[in-house]
Amino acid sequence: MPSDAQDLQVVLAAQEKRELAPNVSSQVINEMKSSLIFQFDWAQLLQAAPTSISCMGACFVASSSPNAVVHLEPPKDKGFQYLRYTSVQANLVECGNMGRMAFIAAENGMGRIQMTSTIINGKINDIVAIIGEPESAKKMLRPQLNTLKEGSTTCLDEAKKMDKMFEDWLLYVCEMHAACVQQENTTREAILSNEICVAAEQTRLDYQKSTVEEAEKAFKMMGKQVETASEAFKKASDQFPTGWDIMGQQIVGDLVGAVTNLGNSFAHAFISNLNPVAKVEAGASIVGGFLNPHKKDESTPEVPVSDPVPPTAAPKNATDPAYVEAVRLDHILAILHVIVSGKNTEGNIDWEQARSGGTGVDSKKNSIGYVQTMLEDAKTRFSQVATTSDPSQTLSTIIDVSLQVATGINDQVKKSGSMSSEWPAKDSEIVKKWQADFAAQYPKANTLIATAKTIPGVASNGIPLMSDAEQRTAQISAKSAQAQALLETAKNRLTTTQQMLTTAQDNYIKSTDMLLEQKNKLGQIQATLTKLTKENVSLAEIKRVLIECIKLIINLKEQVTNLVRFFKAMESLVEMCIRFHVDPFLETVNLIVAADGTDPYKDLKIGNYTYTDFQRSQLYSAAVTMRAYFGVFGDIAKMWVQLSKDSIMPGLKMCDELSVTLGDQDASAQMKKKIAVLNQWATDAVEQVQKLAQDKQREIMNGMDSRIQDVAETTSQITPLPASTVKAITDGTDVTKQAAQTNIKEKSESNPLSRFAIIDD
């Protein structure tokens, strides 16, 4: 079995290899994207496009049927809200035309988003490069962020335009279907139309709702956390034990990582909440009610309204301040665990570790004194932001109990200056109580930390720090308090990372399984459309075509709506970055430039890291987080543009040709041939999307496999964690895993392609 010294060597070597990798930023960004991709999968958007165009063709063909010469009666009090004509025939043609315009708008919008995302990625890379140069940062940092914000706004505007086009198309087809149902219907048809109308309403974003107050609330919380991190840095710097340089990186990493994790959690919250769907009340969208919301009668059953599935998979209460504070306390609790567990003292408190860094009554910077001071500080700070529910209440208890234990041990260490003092025996009641009390809380802390570090969008293995000073691995005793604490946190992090990567892979596999289900559903819809795409369709068959069209439009619109939510969230995140990272950093940069390059915080240090390094690292972390998010949605736009060029535009051209006949040839024969060509095109186009998806999935899976193997290689060379610690970490990662898989399941069950089943009477 490896010794502590061997374990430490392996851990430090792995850490140095990651930090010195020339493509470390790309590694971090890819880790983040891998954990996000399952909930924002571009293939789901692309798969439905060819079949949707086939459905448009069916509308054009149905418009030529004699049975489409039907007059629709509008509601008497105010007429149709969306339909432009009272003729089924004319409205079928308009349904096809609106689809064409939506797809053309999508090609233009996605092209603009792709181009802007590429520019944004370049700007973020520039930001990463210039934050290490004070003169460059002073001149260029804010302009680069302003460009980033403008780019987010441009992408948001394009996404809104696309969303509006698909919404107009959807509502037009829904109202037409509801109007046709009024012409002739069964009770089952009326209920089905109710469900369709409710589903359509639930895709609509509430642009009228003011989100300023909600965003400002989030900004205030973020500002408080950044301020808290700064205060914690200064406190740790003041109390930092002598000779603990190697532990400094862990401490600063925890402080930076906590704020980064919070920013990621806010990204999920912003995506879900800054543009909520319009509220749909039960009974408000019934047949007749959709055309005339004030009309209610017993013949139109009320449809229960369920909440729409949230677009992101963050666990409940992901923005609770406990997750931020738990990450900040990671190294503190690890040090206390090393002292309390008695690993090197046959089960007693490790008194030598407790007083390392200084001895005697006058020592202020020994290990246990540092732990006590930081826990006191954490208790004061956290009590100001803690919520009245979990996980805040759980962490409050962890802090209280840990502080009591640390205080008791430190009181004994202070007495050690007396020659007559003796350490309490390991079987004494006080030692047993300290150990039992902390042993009950430490696993809970590890569970909270594991949950915080595995929320989708977090870098699985942490984000490297930035420093002007050359970092060198110090030579330290593997038995020292800092080495033991470093080993404890490193092993925990490796286990968490391994589970996070495996979970990300499992989530992605489940999301690709959902894509296969969607492909099968699209095949069924295509088969239905092939049967219905004929010249003499009945009104009942026209209604069936409209239902299939509605399913497909809802599927497309939900993905476009996610774009709107995302870019709205990015606007807020960029503003948050400017306000809480860029502005404070620029204040420091201005002081450095004014002092001819002298850092005003050169003496405010934790290990080798100055306060300026800490600010720079927070900004770097925010930049790569935004780069990861933009990368995910930039990939979506890129793949759409490719599909649009190769398949969508040729499909639209085929639809246009359905109504054109050549010379004196048999119009019916020409129509049948064009229908067959369109249907075959749709089948081929879906297969093309499937191939694109498989190629991309293979690329993503290979990247995931490589990262899992790297971590497994490191963990295989070190002593395994105790089973109780592994279970605590697993309990934490299971929280995010369950949230993700529940989200995937709910999306699958609510997929419009699987809804609105038609049962023939």
Average pLDDT over residues 275-304: 45
Which of the residue ranges 179-183, 591-595, 615-619 would you say has the lowest mean pLDDT?
Answer: 179-183
Residue 474 pLDDT class (50, 70, 90 cuts): low
Spatial distance between the Cα atoms of 474 and 467, rounded to a whole number of angstroms:
16
**Residue 206 pLDDT more than 70?**
no
**Residue 311 pLDDT more than 70?**
no
Contact predicate 68/667, CB 8 Å? no
SS3 call for 87 = strand
**Residue 211 pLDDT more than 60?**
no
Angle at CA of residue 443, ends 439 and 447, nearest 5°: 165
**Residue 296 pLDDT more than 50?**
no
The single residue listed with the structure tokens 């400002």 is 216
Cross-strand bridge partners of residue 179: none
What percentage of the chain exceeds 90 in pLDDT?
39
pLDDT at residue 288, rounded to an integer: 40
Spatial distance between the Cα atoms of 438 and 277, rounded to a whole number of angstroms:
46
Choice between 83 and 752, residue whose per-residue pLDDT is larger: 83
**Residue 291 pLDDT more than 70?**
no
pLDDT at residue 280, rounded to an integer: 46
Contact predicate 392/321, CB 8 Å? yes
Residue 309 pLDDT class (50, 70, 90 cuts): low
What percentage of the chain exceeds 70 in pLDDT?
86
What are the extents of the domains in the chain? Answer: 4-318+455-753
Which of the residue ranges 82-91, 194-203, 393-402, 739-748 would you say has the lowest mean pLDDT?
Answer: 194-203
Average pLDDT over residues 546-563: 90
Contact predicate 73/182, CB 8 Å? yes
pLDDT at residue 105, rounded to an integer: 96
pLDDT at residue 300, rounded to an integer: 47
- Identify the top-confidence range among 131-140, 301-310, 364-373, 504-513: 131-140
Contact predicate 72/667, CB 8 Å? no
pTM over 0.85: yes
Residue 475 pLDDT class (50, 70, 90 cuts): low
Average pLDDT over residues 111-126: 92
pLDDT at residue 286, rounded to an integer: 38
Residue 215 pLDDT class (50, 70, 90 cuts): low
- Identify the top-confidence range among 14-28, 203-217, 727-741: 727-741
- How far are the Cα atoms of 164, 454, 496, 730 from residue 503, in angstroms, in the given order? 36, 9, 10, 11
